[in-house]
Amino acid sequence: MRNKSIIVSVIIVFSFISYYLYTSNKLYGNDKESIVKVILSIEGYEDMEIELLEINDTKDDRIVGFLADNSPSYIEFNKDNKGNYVWRHIESSKDESFGIYILTKENPKMMFVTNYDNEIARMQVDVNDSTLEQTFTPYQATVRFLDLPKTNQNSYEYRNYKYYDTDGNLIREE
């Protein structure tokens, strides 16, 4: 009986120590410096140069547009019950100057992240039965959000992407 008590006590102490070490070493995206640390801790991003462009908070979500070695990127965080931002998703458009990301939580949006090489000044896309348009400042790293139209369906259809330069000339169509 005494041996069982000792074993249970050791397991409980070990559990508390493990929990403390895990929670004290966990990285959160609570401020700019910690967001960069979180990104650099993710496999594939360890040695990249990170430039944060914009932090967008809504309710319990944090969306951060950034450049990873000049590639447009974004990371999503969720606020936990202690108020810390825990990362849940990261994505990059490697070797591109223009990244498009679809954010489908509560208020669906398209997120655009551009780098300093971007020459696109305006883009259009048909989403379901609506034509949406967004403008950009060429050769400037930016983050833009575009609300998606309300729908009764649980999905969106994206067609007819068109990209224009500052003179209104069509650069490309997809």
CA 8 from chain center: how many Å? 43
Mean pLDDT over 157-168 rounds to 95
**Among candidate residues 38, 35, 76, 77, the one with its CA nearest the CA of residue 52:** 35
Q: Is the pLDDT of residue 159 over 60?
A: yes
Q: pLDDT tens for residues 22-44?
A: 444 588 999 999 999 999 999 99
Q: pLDDT tens for residues 78-107?
A: 999 999 999 999 999 999 999 999 998 778
Mean pLDDT over 102-124 rounds to 93
75 within 8 A of 55, measured Cβ to Cβ: no
Tokens representing 151 are 């729908």
3-class DSSP state for residue 138?
Answer: coil
Domain boundaries of the chain, sorted by first residue = 26-173
pLDDT confidence of residue 155: 82
Mean pLDDT over 119-135 rounds to 95
Higher pLDDT, 108 or 21: 108
Mean pLDDT over 106-132 rounds to 94
pLDDT confidence of residue 23: 43
Q: Is the pLDDT of residue 57 over 70?
A: yes
161 within 8 A of 128, measured Cβ to Cβ: no
Q: Is the pLDDT of residue 17 over 60?
A: no
Q: Is the pLDDT of residue 165 over 80?
A: yes
Higher pLDDT, 1 or 147: 147
Give the percent of the chain with pLDDT over 90: 73
| SS3 readout for the chain | CHHHHHHHHHHHHHHHHHHHHHHHHCCCCCCHHHHHHHHHHCCCCCCCCEEEEEEEEECCEEEEEEEECCEEEEEEEEECCCCCEEEEEEEECCCCCEEEEEECCCCCEEEEEECCCCCCCEEEEEECCEEEEEECCCCCCEEEEEECCCCCCCCCCEEEEEEECCCCCEEEEC
pLDDT confidence of residue 26: 83
